[in-house]
Amino acid sequence: MKRIAIVGGGPKRYIPELKAYHEERMIWIGADQGAEVLYEQEIPMQLAIGDFDSVTENRLGEIRGYAAVTEVYPEEKDDTDLELAIKAAIKEQPDEIYLFGVTGGRIDHTLANIHLLHQTERAKIKAIIIDKQNHIELTTPGEHQVKKNNSYPYISFIPMSLTVENLTLQGFYYPLENKNLPIGSTLCMSNKLVKESGTFSYSQGILLLIRSRDS
């Protein structure tokens, strides 16, 4: 399975120890200050990309020497640094993309970064946002399996479309049967699995799956 991991320029305190996710042949991309994080954590970096307005000139020089490829863009551009990194990752046609350093800090950045999951979904690539407290995925209609993860016990479902139709949850503490979930609903917050795995399914809409834990 081909995996690409992208590290964005979000607050470093939200980023987990990346070596725990590193595996042979994984491709790592650093977006702006995310490249600095990869440099500091000594993770091999295939691509450093962005305007690098968040790093010093000296550090940018170190990043250039560390990354296999460095692409520097002007500060005034249409795409954010993270979007540039995601577009570069999609071109590689991976099976999965992991996204670190894309939450916390400015709420406009966090919300925009979550919405970038639409781009990976359109490319039919599974993408997961990971920070120290959360795993976030965007899902589409159909049936999906969720396995128990004691490190992230809480499971929430948040609609990303005007409505999510016929949502059914099986194997959860709070089950659901063919429920329509409008945007803005908090009905499906902080659920838990009661078995080693469960399923959720729906017929129409877009749904965020968020697995989380307390700090």
Q: Cβ(152)–Cβ(134) under 8 Å?
A: yes
- Number of domains the chain is built from: 2
**Same domain as 61, residue 166:** no
**Same domain as 90, residue 15:** yes
CA 15 vs CA 37, 108, 180: distances in Å: 9, 18, 35
**Same domain as 183, residue 202:** yes
**Same domain as 108, residue 38:** yes
**Same domain as 148, residue 125:** no
CATH number of the domain encompassing residue 30: 3.40.50.10240
**pTM of structure:** 0.94
Burial 162-173 (b: 16+ CB within 10 A, else e): eebbbbebebbe
Residue 76 is predicted with a pLDDT of: 86
Helix ranges, the chain (H): 33-40, 57-66, 81-91, 107-115, 117-122
**Same domain as 147, residue 182:** yes
- Single out the residue in 84, 99, 132 at which a domain terminates: 132
Chain-centre distance of CA 15, in angstroms?
Answer: 12
Residue 15 is predicted with a pLDDT of: 96
Minimal CA–CA distance to 2: which of 118, 89, 113, 129?
89
Q: What one-character-per-residue DSSP string does 17-45 give?
A: -GGGT--TT-EEEEETHHHHHHHHTT---
Q: Cβ(7)–Cβ(37) under 8 Å?
A: yes
**Same domain as 149, residue 67:** no
**Same domain as 117, residue 19:** yes
Task: Compute, in degrees rounded to 10, the torsion defined by CA atoms 34, 38, 44, 50.
Answer: 20
**Same domain as 155, residue 124:** no
Range of the domain at 176: 138-212
**Same domain as 95, residue 27:** yes
Residue 24 is predicted with a pLDDT of: 85
**Same domain as 15, residue 55:** yes
Give the chain's residues under pLDDT 70.
none
Residue 145 is predicted with a pLDDT of: 97
Residue reference for tokens 């009905």: 187
Residue reference for tokens 């692409």: 71
Phi, psi dihedral angles at 62 (to 5 degrees): -65, -40
Q: Cβ(15)–Cβ(75) under 8 Å?
A: no
Count of H-run helices and E-run strands, the chain: 5, 13
Residue 1 is predicted with a pLDDT of: 87
- Single out the residue in 112, 132, 152 at which a domain terminates: 132
Using CA atoms, how far apart are residues 52 and 118, in angstroms rounded to an integer?
A: 25
**Same domain as 96, residue 41:** yes
- Single out the residue in 71, 99, 132 at which a domain terminates: 132
Q: How far apart are the first and last CA of the chain?
A: 31
Residue 215 is predicted with a pLDDT of: 77
